[in-house]
Structure 1
């Protein structure tokens, strides 16, 4: 039997925010039976956890990394903010009135009085249920409708300084200062090395949104074979347990000249789950020198290189994945193909 957790989450202002929280929770191994209800001032989240895979604090971190949200845990009908203390609403239980005993008293006036109480209480309860039902299900229906209309507009506001995975967003333009990248033969570059358009992607092999943008980049490279090049940078998120080792494995494959083949294998198998055993098997499938690869992975030969990429990304303003710099300007999130195409076409006409 898995422990059950119940949270109130404040600051989820729209259906896009709710969808991001839900997708982030669903993407984590060890979280089961997620139930989310959008109430008037907060969302209520109930879920089960497998304690051997994930703990309560990690669940809270996942929710907070989804946006600038405040989380309170519900314990025996009492709320407790995680991790800071704050004022919470006190719910006063309805007294347990022994109405049956009152009704059995001999005084008829008391009997009628009791029956009046019962009828009045029933009417008030019905009214409260109607209002509460409207607030609960009406809000949920409204959120569902909004989610249908704006399913392609899931742009996460950059308010939380901690890294998170970015949801797909609507067509956007690059923003922020132009960053300078010195690309060398030591970088993992796909496409024409001397192409005029450079996409520098900070990515996490375990991030579902990075998996969504993966075919977008392949299509761009196919449609702009001489004009676009893609440079891959590592940015493993802390709440993805296998992201660091996946990045190290890719770099071990790069050592043998097969970074992009291994990169594609990781994303193609993202839904199947990552493990050290799988990393080594995929190296074997690609006809790598397995003895050399396994030693590279087991010793953490490229752990510092992966961490250096992440630190470099943070210094450049990256706080989630995927984050792509187009000729030095940042586009955050798994934006659609048309957005990148529009930006690339504009740059090519300058």
Structure 2
């Protein structure tokens, strides 16, 4: 082979390597996996005192996701955390300001206290995470009464602080500049490595069960926050956003087709029933685009296993199965299996 051909072959090889997204790179260990290329295990309704006396105990399992249910109390202008009481708190958040306070004191605090506990716990465990905080707004926003996306962002910014991994962080390019949308950034494989996100949390928001069943609610949480992101980006203020809105519910093809075109690029996180995803939906579509995919009720995938107390082998096998099916998070109520909750698996 001539020198010219050798040089040409080398240049072609370099060019081919340059277009391989970082997301597809082979990682040496879990910490070096891009966030979008890993599968972790999560806990449903982690705020429930029946699950853990203190929220920090749920975090101590090493879980990759916790869930908080919140209500907009428009009378007191407080975000209440409970499963079914829109006007009161029923949770295990204690409003800690130091690590020593995470396991003491009275619980049943407002949403900001839950984020205080998360921030303090992450500060005491700087190599933990990244953590997904799944926030279900049970009845949705009430922006017309001062409890909309802007106010929720302000609460998270004040109480989670620099521990939050925000939409603007995903948009930022390593060499400077930014991608125009979350979709562009995700599809370019711009997720940081898990090690780079250690000690940080990503907040996901989904529409609530009450909101979704309310025939008079015509503006659901996902659409409202998607429009909010679009408008912030247009105004050059995307840095204010603290939350990634999720497309809720398993569906074939691109589930964002239910939204108006202008907000579709602001959704890169999808959340739905694991059994539904495995029933004929091409989940590789999410993985190939580096979108995050939360699979809930993992125990119900056939053959069903216990939702709370499977054996460690059963839960681990289910996590491995759903990781192979391209889940980013495998969620259930496996509260007593820290060896499974702390799993980090290659996705796909």
Q: TM-score interval w.r.t. the shorter chain?
A: under 0.3
- TM-score, structure 1 length as denominator? 0.26
